[in-house]
Structures are given as C-alpha cells and as structure tokens.
Amino acid sequence: MGTAGGERVGAILFDLLMAVMDSPAVWSGAVHDERLGLAWRDEVTARMVASGAYTPYEALVASAARELGLPARATSDLLAGWRTMSPRPDSAAIARLAVPYAFVTNCSRDLAKVAAHRSGLAPRFTLSAEEAGWYKPDVRIYRAACRRLDLSPGRVALVAGSVHDAEGGARAGLPSALVLRRPDQRTPEPPIRVVTSLEEAVDRLLDDTLQPDR
C-alpha cells in the first residue's frame, strides 16, 4: 500500500460513526424523521467543528436538540438507540486488511466503545474525541492516533465518511479518502480520493491505489 512519497501505508484509520457504522439511522430513529434526524446530527457536527477542543459530547447533543425544538426525550432516545447501532454492510471488507487498523470518532469515550463493539470488528484501538481532547477535523486528533500506531502521518491512511473529516486528515498529512455515505455531500478536492464503498477503499488499499488521480 503506497503513499504519495513512495512508502507503504503501515496502518489505516477509519471514521467509526459515518464510514463504518450507520449512525444516521440512530439519529433519525430517535426523532422518527430522517430529515430532522440528519439536521440534528449536522447541527452537532457544526458545533464540534467550531469548538475544536473537546467539550462533553452529550451536552452538545442536548443543546442542539433544544435549539432545533426537538422533543424533550430526543436525547435520551438517541443515547438508548446507540446500543442498537448497526454496521454498514460493506464494513466487513475491513477484516480483509493485512495491516493494523483503528477507529477515530467524534464522540465520548463511552459511546465510542459501544459503537466499536457493535461494529463486530477488531481494531487496534478506538480513539474518541474525549480521549484525544480534540474533535475532528482538528489535526491533533489524527496525529494522536498516528502516535499510538507509532507511525508518521504519511504512513497512515484515513478512510472518512464525511468531507470535513477527510479534509482534516489530509491537513494532518494522512493520505485520505472519502467513502460516499450521503448524496448531499460535496466532493472534496484532490489529493483526497473519493470511493463509493468500504469494499472499494479496501481493494484500493490492497493494490496500492488509494491515491488521488494525477
């Protein structure tokens, strides 16, 4: 698995909640409305991006729910639904990788553990924003994960499920790809590679082509 500098990729980071897990279904289920669930999730994401430094995730969720006028029990329903979160069908492809992989995710330590367990996969570790002290796309969370892998950022690939995540990884120096999960996502600029599934991402990692078209 090659990098832009000709080195082989030594490990992979995956976005847990969007690339690997179908977290949007949990948000939508908590309010019984797909559009409203995504709007709630997007509002929380905007707050995380604006914050940078970690602030309690559950508090951000509750604050966004109040601003959107959601029912009082929406947050508790979301947190209860977290324990039913399902992996994406194509996430099984990750098990084909011959190099270590880990999850990096924008939530609390406890919720990250629940989602990672629900994935059915065996990452080297799961790094939550709470543990790192920073929310993605701050470059410090990606670099913290690279330090745990004992590899330079240039030797750790990122497979993200959101544009801001892929762009954050690229800024941190990781060869980054976006797996398309929402039809309303904008297309990131090179050097970020866009793939349509985790199966495609893994195939490209295995044959050294998870690099942007030149």
The percentage of the chain sitting over the pLDDT mark of 90, rounded to a whole number, equals: 87
Question: Within this chain, do residues 17 and 89 fall inside the same structural domain, yes or no?
Answer: yes
**Sorting pLDDT into bands at 50, 70 and 90, what band is 208?**
low
Is residue 54 assigned to a domain? yes
Partners of 176 in the beta sheet? Answer: 158
Judge whether residue 213 has pLDDT over 80. no
- The domain boundary, picked from 83, 102, 135, lies at 83
Q: pLDDT tens, 75-87?
A: 999 999 999 999 9
Is residue 186 assigned to a domain? yes
Any idea what the Cα angle at residue 114 is, between residues 165 and 138, rounded to 5°? 20
**Sorting pLDDT into bands at 50, 70 and 90, what band is 205?**
confident
Q: At what angle do helices 57-67 and 34-51 cross, to 10 degrees?
A: 130
Is residue 64 assigned to a domain? yes
Residue tagged 């599934």 (tokens): 197
Q: What is the CATH number of the domain that holds 138?
A: 3.40.50.1000
Alpha-carbon dihedral 16, 85, 206, 180, rounded to 10 degrees: -80
Question: Within this chain, do residues 159 and 201 fall inside the same structural domain, yes or no?
Answer: yes
Assess contact for 176 and 193: CB atoms under 8 A: yes
Any idea what the Cα angle at residue 211 is, between residues 183 and 181, rounded to 5°? 15
Question: Within this chain, do residues 128 and 153 fall inside the same structural domain, yes or no?
Answer: yes
**Average pLDDT of every residue of the chain:** 93
Judge whether residue 52 has pLDDT over 60. yes
Question: Within this chain, do residues 92 and 168 fall inside the same structural domain, yes or no?
Answer: yes
**Domain of 111?**
11-22+85-206
Judge whether residue 211 has pLDDT over 90. no
Q: pLDDT tens, 106-148?
A: 999 999 999 999 999 999 999 999 999 999 999 999 999 999 9
Q: What is the CATH number of the domain that holds 27?
A: 1.10.150
Question: Within this chain, do residues 111 and 148 fall inside the same structural domain, yes or no?
Answer: yes
Q: How far apart are CA 69 and CA 140, in angstroms?
A: 33
Question: Within this chain, do residues 142 and 195 fall inside the same structural domain, yes or no?
Answer: yes
DSSP character string of 108-161 = -HHHHHHHHHHHT---S-EEEHHHHTB-TTSHHHHHHHHHHHTS-GGGEEEEES
What pLDDT is recorded for position 144? 98
Question: Within this chain, do residues 91 and 77 fall inside the same structural domain, yes or no?
Answer: no
Question: Within this chain, do residues 69 and 105 fall inside the same structural domain, yes or no?
Answer: no
Q: How far apart are CA 15 and CA 60, in angstroms?
A: 19
